[in-house]
Homo-oligomer: A and B are copies of this chain.
Amino acid sequence: MAAEQPNQSEYNRSRVMRFLYNNGVSSRAQIAKALGLTPAAITKITAKLIDEGLIGETGEIEGARNRRSIGLLLNPERFHVIGVKFARSLIQVGLFDLAGDARQIWVDMTADHPSIADMIASLKALIGRIMARFNTVVAIGMAVPGPYLRDCGHTAVVSSMRQWRDVNFPAEFADAFAVPVFIEQDARAGALAQQLFGADDAQDDLAYYLIGEGVGLGVVERGHTIDGARGTATEIGHVSIDVNGRRCDCGNYGCLERYCSAVAIHEALDATLDEDGGIVAGSDRMTHIEACEALFTLASNGDARALELVRRAGTYVGYGLVTIINAFNPRRIIIGDIVSHAGAPLLEAAMHVVDDRVLPELAETTAVTLSELPTDAAVTGAAAVAITAFLEQPSRFADLARRRRGD
């Protein structure tokens, strides 16, 4: 995702943009000091950014030694990006401002389309309508299930999205719109969203543990995602927790995904239908999301059988946490997507495993929380991918925005 830096000027503009993005209203002197830029350089850079409409001046603010100076501000609502998340049963599309706040979310169900081609046509039409309505959109980010082979542009494992296996994402979308499209594995996009928009201060060592229809992981180490040679690193869903376990579509045995994904929980739920009506009546006619939400509601209302099933899933979520800690040693792990909606009982069961199986030195210093982003982290993450690209080449995108507005 790290785009080539076109030149040193754009690189310095990007540094100033990112400083304002992370620190809010700041004076030229504060920015220059933080980035080691001369007064002449900061004057030139900010003049260009103001001219391009990327930043604006506020009134006077309190500077160093009580001196008053003009504040600079990056207005996150002046530009927008579209984030798209592909999952097995649905596509989510969101319009976001640069702060990662969703202005609107659209959902398109796979079941409503006779074919993938039809679904893609429908998605393109939707994005076209959004872009026609908002000429402030400057980039599109897409989050796709892993393992996503970045170099050849398609997903390699089919278990979570069998029907999408023949779609080449860059070929299908890269030139489909008037703005650039950036594609990332879904959990990695989620990790970028947590890094960019998460509740805590900027975090440079975190992991986003996506437990939805598939199970994935994105890891940010020293500020950068771990990608691997072909883009398929951190595929925790296909790391075996039992080499003698259940066969997975990927070829491996005992893949974590086979035990705690929404699909696996739905299967376990359906298996209870034979026992006097099952935990959730009619679960076999529900989507995975519906079945899981019904189960979690029952569990939070204290239904003993539902609670037990949630805790069992939480135990497997915990085995995954143990592996994540030993393999990646992040400072924070944020659990998100469908299964995280089970809340406290799931997290408690998972942390019981962590406390039992992880070295105390590491268990004590690894924070594990449920995602608190108001929107699904992978959709927000798709937006984060586009916003990161925007911040890396601000003048390129400002120029694009100008042309889109017809200035």
Contacts and interface: CB of A to CB of B under 8 A. Distances in A.
Given A149-B361, A239-B327, A327-B236, A322 B229 contact: no
A319 B251 CA distance: 13
Contacts of A328: 226, 228, 233-234
Interface string A314-351: 00000100110011111100000000000000000000
Contacts of A253: 357
Interface string A144-176: 000101001000110000000000000000000
Contacts of A226: 221, 226, 328
Number of copies: 2
Nearest to A233: B329
A326 B156 contact: no
Contacts of A241: 240-243
A3 to B, nearest CB: 15
Given A147-B362, A243-B319, A228 B329 contact: yes
Interface in A233-264: 233-236, 238-244, 250-254
Nearest to A228: B329
A356 interface: yes
Given A226-B221, A365-B230, A243 B243 contact: no
Contact of A357 (B251, B330, B359): B251
A97 interface: no
Contacts of A242: 241-244, 254
A149 B240 CA distance: 26
A297 B380 CA distance: 57
B358 A326 contact: no
A362 B156 contact: yes
A326 to B, nearest CB: 5
15 contacts: A147-B326, A147-B362, A221-B227, A221-B228, A222-B224, A228-B329, A229-B365, A232-B362, A233-B328, A239-B326, A240-B241, A241-B243, A250-B359, A251-B357, A252-B322
The list of the 7 closest CB pairs from A to B, nearest first, reads: A228-B329, A229-B331, A205-B229, A233-B329, A252-B357, A232-B329, A235-B326
